[in-house]
Amino acid sequence: MREAGRTQRAHRTVLGGRVSPSSRPVATITFIALCVLMYLADYVAPVYQLFAFSPAIGQIEPWRMLTSAFLHAGWLHLLVNMYALWIVGPFLEEMLGRWRYVALYLLSALGGSVAVVLLTPVSQWGYSVVGASGAVFGLFAAIAVVLKRTGRDARQILVVIAINVVFSLIIARVSWQAHLGGLVVGAALGFLFAYLPKERRSSGAVVGVVTSAVVLVGVTLLAYA
């Protein structure tokens, strides 16, 4: 059966994702594995101190704006984010295709860090922000757009987003800024990927991803300036 699956031709989803009988959510599994490995590595090395992000340190070491998305402050934090990622990630990875899904995840994570810089008072720039929540919120927003585009019921995911937004505002030590930034970037990229005309799906996605990255970097430089 495995050999027969390899010989069957792959097909495309309505949004251009490539699907074959042997397809696995490789990108989603990789993101989860990286988060778990980074958490475990912190027990034997100062991983948290080296890769956590705060607006103050981000001005000197900007790569932390992405590396912090693979760190978590405790098992519960890790488990909640990885569960959410596993619930929504495979569907989006299949619908969008691997490279667009990876771009969505990473840019949503970056958007969360950018929002932290923009919306956090300078007096609090020394506080660290970690977690995949910004990226996960980006996936939440994107999946709502994709469900709408494909004629499916998006009410459940919209309720999930609303509940998480409320929790972000009322629970102490939760970065609502990162959640908001990921949500905005995820919605924008989700709309782009879902509504591009078929003949411009690949080139338009590349232009959109590059433009989004440039805008996020530019906004960050202006904020720091």
Active-site residue list: 133, 179
Give the C-alpha distances (Å, rounded to integers) separating 200 from 53, 63, 102.
36, 31, 19
Nearest to 210 by CA among 127, 100, 55: 100
Identify the helix (H) or strand (E) that includes residue 18.
strand 18-19
In 3-state terms the chain splits into helix, strand, coil percentages (rounded to 5) of: 75, 5, 25
The alpha carbon of residue 125 and the mean position of all alpha carbons in its chain are separated, in whole angstroms, by 23
Give CA–CA dist 96/101, Å, rounded: 6
CB 205 within 8 A of CB 196: yes
CB 179 within 8 A of CB 137: yes
